[in-house]
Amino acid sequence: MRLTKRTYLVGGGSLGFGISNDYDCHVYVVDGGGELALIDAGAGLTIDPILENMRFDGLDPRRLRQLLLTHAHADHAGAAAQWRERFGVEVAASPAAAEYLRNGDEERISLAIAKRGGYYPRDYVFRACEVSRVVSDGQELRIGDLRVRVYETPGHCSGMASYLVEENGRHVLFSGDTVFHGGKVLITNVWDCSVKDYVTSIDKLAALEVDALLPGHLAIALSGGSKHIRTAQEIFYRLLVPPNII
Ligand SMILES: [Zn+2]
């Protein structure tokens, strides 16, 4: 599904638009001209519906060169190993997320607790994945002829990164599970969720001029993205916690 001139939504499950496996987060493709990049991988139970969606949009998966991960939670990163094996993509993640991915540590990515909470099938297995590019705050990346700025935005969990893509003077923010449409957040009872870090991260993103806000789940804003981020910021400033998406 084409969202902007250069971005597409190609996956998303029951907390999305139901266009791929139920457990998938939103999976996006950025078209850099000479190459394609995925933003987040999906859970990995099957990537076939994502491939079908790409082909339907005229995106040849063989043009994929990079996979930028927002964080290591299974719904976002579980399929990373498959994308790497099948298409040879270079996997990029923040330092903490890279460590969790390389070790495939189900405790560190809170998968064990999420399985007990009923969010994943009991027999779901997270596949470890080599990360070839560790990215950090402020770093600039390229996807073909597009510039991408990395913002480390912990709070929902450790190792979270958001990616700001500049596209013909418009700014598209891939915010992962940091901030959602309507200023919602995702604060859960996991070891590395931190309200204090969340506030700092929202402040960081609220300082940017964002047109399209493309989060990891549910609704998308194709314009006025900053407004949604600043809604979350204002609620934090009133010492409260913005509503969760679930
Ligand atoms: Zn998450």
CA of 67 to the centre of ligand 1 (A): 17
User: What is the structure's pLDDT at 132?
Assistant: 95
How many alpha carbons lie under 13 Å from residue 175 in its C-beta half-sphere? 36
Read off the pTM: 0.98
225 touches 212 (CB < 8 A): yes
CA of 34 to the centre of ligand 1 (A): 30
User: What is the structure's pLDDT at 236?
Assistant: 98
User: What is the structure's pLDDT at 187?
Assistant: 97
CA of 80 to the centre of ligand 1 (A): 15
CA of 71 to the centre of ligand 1 (A): 7
CA of 109 to the centre of ligand 1 (A): 9
CA of 197 to the centre of ligand 1 (A): 15
The model's pLDDT over 10-24, given as tens digits with 9 standing for 90+, comes to 999 999 999 999 999
CA of 172 to the centre of ligand 1 (A): 20
CA of 36 to the centre of ligand 1 (A): 24
CA of 224 to the centre of ligand 1 (A): 24
CA of 156 to the centre of ligand 1 (A): 7
Q: Which domains does the chain have, with CATH numbers?
A: 7-237 (3.60.15.10)
176 touches 76 (CB < 8 A): yes
CA of 58 to the centre of ligand 1 (A): 29
Mean pLDDT of the chain: 97
CA of 53 to the centre of ligand 1 (A): 23
**Which residues of the chain are modeled with pLDDT < 70?**
none
CA of 127 to the centre of ligand 1 (A): 16
